[in-house]
A and B are shown apart, each in its own frame.
Chain A
């Protein structure tokens, strides 16, 4: 057998080698021109997903806060300043023209105001609101007293059952 074909491709090739050459020949290096890969399009999907999540969370938070604060709005409306200025009638008298030139009053004296100090209940409560509030107050007081009574009952029972307390009582009696 002549191995020259394997060495420098001279001489008759062996049929098996020729067959192998044909099979493997498809995989041989094929020169191709160098191509610069096109810039890959950036995917904005993750950013969009995160933004959507934050938006939904913010929206949910907003709705939750709105629902929570809805009940607080009437309380804010009811907050009336304690001192309500009422212009005293004396000021009006001064504005009417008088023949005699009056002594010019200092700005503080001109703006005479009377303050009504409001006490106990905010004035924003209407009669109906006040009646409702008083009714609720009574129920509230009753509920709190009952809660207090039961708490104290539990406390008393615990105290009477604890051995430490028994010792204390014995000491106190002795």
Chain B
């Protein structure tokens, strides 16, 4: 009886400790970004490669040079608040079929992990596919991943941290980038006001 009693006494704190450590690791795992290194070999085949890897420290440094007075920059600065990383890999090819479905599947497999939810999946034979994934930490957005696979282009965007999708979507068309004009007439009316 005594030994069983002692085993229970040891077991309880051990379980508690494991739960604490496990929770910490889980919280960290939820934070983790997508590994994009598997796409690195495509750079040799690509016409144009974009590789952006900005961690939390660099985001903070960059946030310092965003103006608080210019509306556009202020909005971006607000968007950056709380972000832990922005990672982009984009490849543009001269010909079709330069990347294999397996390359895309490696990324997709990571996005099937716990916490990730597929928000949008649009597939068309002509224009390829666009998938938008969200990492949910409870009710909050903990991260975003966009996987766009076209015939001659493969783009993966991974934003780690709480991201405001509405603000992010509004960024297009600012800073000299052409707007795709997908806004609804209502918002245009509001802007006019």
Contacts and interface: CB of A to CB of B under 8 A. Distances in A.
Given A129-B61, A139-B52, A148-B168, A157 B130 contact: yes
Majority DSSP secondary structure for residues of B touching A: mixed
A149 B180 contact: yes
> Which of B10, B50, B52, B64: most chain A CB closer than 10 A?
B64
Interface in A48-87: 49-50, 52-53, 56-57, 60, 64, 71-72, 74-75, 78
A94 to B, nearest CB: 38
Contacts of B76: 140-141, 144
Contacts, number: 144
A153 B121 CA distance: 11
Nearest to B182: A156
B65 to A, nearest CB: 4
Contact of A148 (B62, B155, B172): B172
B82 to A, nearest CB: 12
A151 B132 contact: yes
Nearest to A122: B64
B60 A71 contact: yes
A72 B66 CA distance: 18
Interface in A87-112: none
A60 B16 CA distance: 14
A127 interface: no
Contact of A144 (B57, B60, B168): B168
Interface residues of B, number: 58
- Category for how many chain A residues contact B: 35 or more
A78 B64 contact: yes
A71 B58 CA distance: 10
B144 A147 contact: yes
A37 interface: no
Interface in B132-174: 132, 144, 146, 148, 155, 157, 159, 165, 168-172, 174
A119 to B, nearest CB: 8
A134 B67 CA distance: 12
A134 B65 contact: yes
B146 A143 contact: no
B21 interface: yes
Contacts of A53: 13-14, 16-17
A157 B88 CA distance: 21
A132 interface: yes
Given A120-B67, A147-B157, 6 more contacts: A45-B6, A130-B65, A137-B66, A146-B90, A150-B132, A154-B130
Interface of A: 45-46, 49-50, 52-53, 56-57, 60, 64, 71-72, 74-75, 78, 119-122, 125, 129-130, 132-134, 136-137, 139-159, 161
25 contacts: A49-B13, A53-B16, A78-B64, A121-B65, A129-B61, A130-B65, A133-B61, A137-B62, A140-B58, A140-B86, A142-B88, A145-B175, A146-B88, A147-B86, A147-B168, A148-B168, A148-B170, A150-B146, A152-B182, A154-B120, A154-B132, A154-B148, A155-B120, A156-B180, A156-B182
